[in-house]
Amino acid sequence: MNTLSIGSSGKTHTDAVLPDTSVLARDLNAVLRCRGNNGSDRLRIVQRTLNPHSSTFTSEIVTCAENGQCLNLLCKFDRPIRTLAREHRLGIAYEAAVYQNALAESGDTVPRFYGYRPGDSKSMGWLALEHVTTGVKVQRTPHSHAIVEAARWLGRFHAEQERKIAQSRAIGLRVMDDEFYRHGIESLGETESRLVPGWLEHLCTMLSSRIGELIDSPMTLVHGEFYPNNILFDLSRNRILPVDWETAALGAGEYDLAMLTENWPGPVRTHCELAYSWERWGRNAPVAVARRLQLARMHLAIRWFYNSIDANHEMRQRCVAQIARLAREAGWMNVPEES
């Protein structure tokens, strides 16, 4: 199986500019022809609108017309909005590979992939996806059960992807390896000591000694940022649609579940965990699942703390309080309540 370390970095053409409408229309037609979606240069762009929900990379909602029918696309451009975290550095080229190599058989459970055009020194690369006009973020849907439906979707998805990986059908994807899990944990030791409570240093040592349970867990395709903000609920078709797959990797599925349930009340977390477990394993859930989920939550909270070191005091304290709560729940150590 060909894989990439999650620490690998890619290149973006930051000096390139967004393509003008005529160039974008020409390239869209060319890409669609190559993928068998379009027979000639019949597609024209009616409107381009900056996507107000762009997060990591600049994106536009591109309304097209073809043979009297409307086609709504989301075009993501290889232009970072902010400094890229290490997980995003392979850019939209990697996300295109995820759609082509890992999600091609997922049908309408993910946004439809229309094509990718690599960039060069003059023209910016882009990725074209289905724009779901009736999609809302899962936490904003009027359906109270939507977050649990997202957990069910995740369980089914992880089960299917685990089977595919066992058949060596996951090519060219990154791996949540030892380097990934130890980054942040061990980097705290290099952080100014006044910012890191003494008990947290001890907790990181404990976590580092146990992280092998996540590395050795059954491998599936992990979204990598499976937060409610990256999950749409399509109101017209009652379907869950995760978006923004540029951090996808092979790893422990519990990591996605930890992200989905972060900061939700206890009863909601429990419902999500039960729904996920049933869809992924039925009655045969491994005994180690609960422990792996604890490890994933702890690692995720420490990553948040590490990334907040340069932030304000209030944000750091929120992260510390979260880690302390998780440590007490896991029974790892007697962390003071005021932490």
* Residues 6 or more apart whose Cβ sits within 8 Å of residue 324: 199, 335, 336, 337, 339
pLDDT digits (tens, 9 = 90+) for 6-62: 433 344 444 457 889 999 999 999 988 776 655 456 889 999 999 988 888 899 999
- pLDDT at residue number 83: 62
Nearest to 195 by CA among 312, 298, 86: 312
Q: CA torsion 113→218→264→74, rounded to 10°?
A: -10
Is residue 201 pLDDT above 90, yes or no? no
Is residue 4 pLDDT above 90, yes or no? no
d(CA 138, CA 32): 30
Average pLDDT over residues 202-216: 91
pLDDT digits (tens, 9 = 90+) for 122-175: 778 899 999 999 999 999 887 778 999 999 999 999 999 999 988 876 568 899
Is residue 249 within 8 Å of residue 6, measured between CB atoms? yes
Mean pLDDT of all residues belonging to the chain? 86
Burial label, 229 (beta-carbon count in 10 A; 0-12, 13-18, 19+): middle
Average pLDDT over residues 112-118: 93
pLDDT category of residue 305 using cuts at 50, 70 and 90: confident
Number of residues that this document lists for the chain: 339
- pLDDT at residue number 330: 86
Is residue 76 pLDDT above 70, yes or no? yes
Cα–Cα distances (Å) from 286 to 63, 112, 223, 259, 290, in that order, read: 47, 33, 21, 20, 9
Contacts made by residues 153-156, CB under 8 angstroms, sequence distance 24+: 153/109, 153/240, 153/242, 153/279, 154/226, 154/253, 154/256, 154/257, 154/260, 154/276, 154/279, 155/275, 155/276, 155/277, 155/278, 155/279, 155/280, 155/281, 156/279, 156/280
Q: Under DSSP, is residue 317 helix (H, G, I), strand (E, B) or coil?
A: helix
Average pLDDT over residues 249-278: 96
Domains, in order of start, for the chain: 9-131 (3.30.200), 137-330 (3.90.1200.10)
Average pLDDT over residues 321-338: 81
* Prediction pTM value: 0.88
Give the rounded percent of residues in the chain with a pLDDT score beyond 90.
53
Bigger pLDDT: 267 or 90?
Answer: 267
Could you please report the per-residue DSSP string of 42-82? --EEEEEEE-TT--SEEEEEEEEEETTEEEEEEEEEEEESS
- pLDDT at residue number 252: 97
